[in-house]
Structure formats: structure tokens, C-alpha cells
Amino acid sequence: MKGVWPVPWMEWSNGRGVRTMSYRPETPFDNIESAGQFVELLIEAIDESRRDVNADIALTKDGSSERSRKALQLVSANLAKLSQHMTKSRQILNHLRTLRGLLLQERRPGTTLQTRNGNRELSRWS
């Protein structure tokens, strides 16, 4: 498997006898934080589109065809669903970021994982 290992974006370091792997992102979507920023921008764009479509729906009541109005209502409903999905995606990304922080804290030598509610806090996300 020539060229597979070591992967160019992985870097091994020895510190205090512990080998850890660090990761350098190559694209804007290579880490949880940048994915979260993208999701935030997408939610904003969806909300803006919903406002525009709802304004168009209000204008179509003044004489446009029934077919156009129904099509715009369908667009609005689908944008609402997409907004809900993106909001849920944002929550999942936040949970992943929190879990990553907890796992990294647990792996540090000399530290223990301390949570408010013990493992129950982690189980609410599963």
C-alpha cells in the first residue's frame, strides 16, 4: 500500500512518552468548527430565502395564478423543512465538538474526565 501511510496531513509527535496525532485541515470543511460556520451561513441564507418567498406569496394574492401561489407555498414549506434539518445539524455539530473536547481532556496524562452528571450527560446525545 505505497503512499497510504503516512498520510501527509497527519503528524506524529512525542511528548512525555505519549504519541498523539495532530491534524491540519486542507479544506474549509475539514473540522467541526468550520462545518459549524458553514451551517450557520446556510441557515441565514435559508431564512432570507423564506422571507423573500413569503413576500412573494403575499404579492401573488393580488391576482396572480393559483398555480404560482401554490408553487411558492410548496417552496416555503420545503425551506421550512430544510431550516429545521440545518438547525438539527447545528446541534449535532455542537454535541460532537463538546464530545471531542471531553475525549481530548480524558486522554491528557494526569487528567480525569469530570462532568456534572457523570455519564448521563454523554448518554443524552446518543
Q: pLDDT digits over 62-83, tens only?
A: 666 889 999 999 999 999 999 9
Asked if 39 and 89 count as a contact pair (C-beta separation under 8 A), the reply is yes
For 16, 20, 98, the CA distances from 110, given in Å and listed in that order, are 12, 15, 20
Sign of CA dihedral 25, 43, 78, 52: negative
Q: pLDDT digits over 16-57, tens only?
A: 544 455 656 577 667 888 899 999 999 999 999 999 999 999
Q: With a threshold of 0.75, does the pTM exceed it? A: no
The rounded Cα 88 to chain-centroid distance in angstroms is 8
Asked if 99 and 105 count as a contact pair (C-beta separation under 8 A), the reply is no
Length of the chain: 126
User: What is the b/e burial string over 47-63, where b = at least 16 CB atoms within 10 angstroms of the residue's CB?
Assistant: eeebeebeeebeebeee
